[in-house]
Amino acid sequence: MRVARLHGPGDVRVGEEPDPIPAAGESLVRVTAVGICGSDLHWYSEGAIGTAALTAPLVLGHEFGGVVVEGRGEGDRVAVDPAIPCEACPLCARGDGNLCPNVRFAGHGEQDGALRELVTWPTRRLHPVPAALSDAEVATLEPLGVAVHALDLGHVRPGIDVGVVGCGPIGLLLIQALHVSGVGRIVAVEPLPHRRAAAAALGATVVMTPEEAQATATAGDPQGPAGVDVGFDVAGSDEAVDVAVRWTRPGGRVVMVGIPSGDTTTLTAGTVRRKGLTLAWSRRMGEVYPRAIALATGGGVDLGSVISDHYPLADAAEAFRIAAGRSGLKVIVEPAG
């Protein structure tokens, strides 16, 4: 089979490797589509993410779907949950498998991901999907799941005002999920014009540049033009965190979804303390795939709206270059051609 491996920052190579053989409890999946995520771009650009660093060539890719070619449900189209929690620790027992300290995650550490033609994966982590979803849309269910998990952490209620800082694919999916949740205003900030346009088209009430956001975010002013009850940082930069904190009204919540470069986030503690804000950090997602599928198939969220580019596996290096340049939205690699 063909495989794309990251050998170092900016060094993606496609080669031939033996087909994997499923073990007990696993299925063999022919990968049809893989989305390139912002966390993949950390690996691509830095050779690391947080405290995890590249120690050997790694197959990236954790947003993916395919067709079962061997194992239970042979012939089924499936979305693949990239997390394999241990299911034995206290965190797994209470339903927080995304926080499992023993979790294996596709395209992270020593666990190869999906940028290859065939993958073996635990059958219990496969979710059948309806024919109405395209292969690329199936791969985009994972970032939608991240958005749904973030929405849960925000304790979102109908009628409240929310802010979304960062309108990449996850931010745009979050805007759609918030819109169908019945919130009031959705205030979005994004530096790239094409992503601001997408945010407005997909449900944002007010769209700003970072400069406009810095000028309008007023600490503790509930009547301010950017005042919100819940702020979501979906960019990961200190500037984005600052805007989310300054936008959020006293007693509100700020949900950190973005991943910073390096392993440090800086914010103004005095503002957080004086406003009595609750900060929540989002770690991937919980068991939300069924809800994500329901949102996508029920018309609440248009997965195709965030997909901009398609590449074959042979052009994986170019796909990463385009994704890193952020000239579009979601970049999809299609190993099955």
Among 196, 202, 27, 19, smallest CA distance to 117 is for 19
Give the per-residue pLDDT at 155: 96
Q: Which amino acid is at 242?
A: D
Asked if 1 and 19 touch (Cβ cutoff 8 Å), the reply is yes
pLDDT classification of 220: cutoffs 50, 70, 90: very low
Is residue 193 predicted with pLDDT exceeding 90? yes
CATH fold label, 2-128+302-334? Quinone Oxidoreductase; Chain A, domain 1 (3.90.180)
Strands (DSSP E) found in the chain: 2-8, 11-16, 26-35, 48-49, 52-53, 63-70, 77-80, 83-84, 104-105, 118-122, 126-128, 162-165, 186-189, 206-208, 228-233, 248-256, 278-281, 307-312, 330-334
Q: Is the pLDDT of residue 108 over 60?
A: yes
What percent of the chain stands above pLDDT 70?
Answer: 97
Q: Dihedrals φ, ψ of 212, to 5°?
A: -65, -35
**218 band by pLDDT with thresholds 50, 70 and 90:** low
- Fold for domain 145-281? Rossmann fold (3.40.50)
Average pLDDT over residues 231-254: 92
Least confident segment among 59-63, 98-102, 172-176, 214-218: 214-218
Summary mean pLDDT of the chain: 93
- Residue 12 contacts residue 317 (beta carbons within 8 Å): yes
Torsion sign, CA atoms 201, 217, 278, 252: negative
- pLDDT for 296: 96
Report the phi/psi class of residue 332: left, alpha or beta, with left for phi > 0 and alpha for psi in -120 to 50: beta
Residue 191's SS3 state is: coil
pLDDT at 210 over 50: yes
Angle at CA of residue 335, ends 111 and 304, nearest 5°: 100
DSSP designation for 111: B
Among 207-211, 263-267, 297-301, name the one with the lowest average pLDDT.
263-267
Interatomic CA distance for residues 78 and 214, integer angstroms: 43
Contact between 190 and 239 under an 8 Å Cβ cutoff? The reply is no
Model confidence pLDDT, tens digit, residues 284-323: 888 889 999 999 999 889 999 999 999 999 999 999 999 9
What confidence tier does 226 reach under pLDDT thresholds 50, 70, 90? low
Residues of the chain with CATH 3.90.180.10: 2-128+302-334
For residues 246 and 219, what is the distance between their CA atoms, to the nearest angstrom? Answer: 5
Residues of the chain with CATH 3.40.50.720: 145-281
Residue 204 has pLDDT above 90, yes or no: yes
Q: What mean pLDDT is predicted for residues 61-74?
A: 96
The pTM is what?
Answer: 0.94
User: CB–CB of 316/58 below 8 Å?
Assistant: no
Cα gap 258→41, rounded to integer Å:
12
Q: What is the per-residue pLDDT across 23-59, written as a single tens digit (0 to 9) for each? A: 999 999 999 999 999 899 999 999 988 888 999 999 9
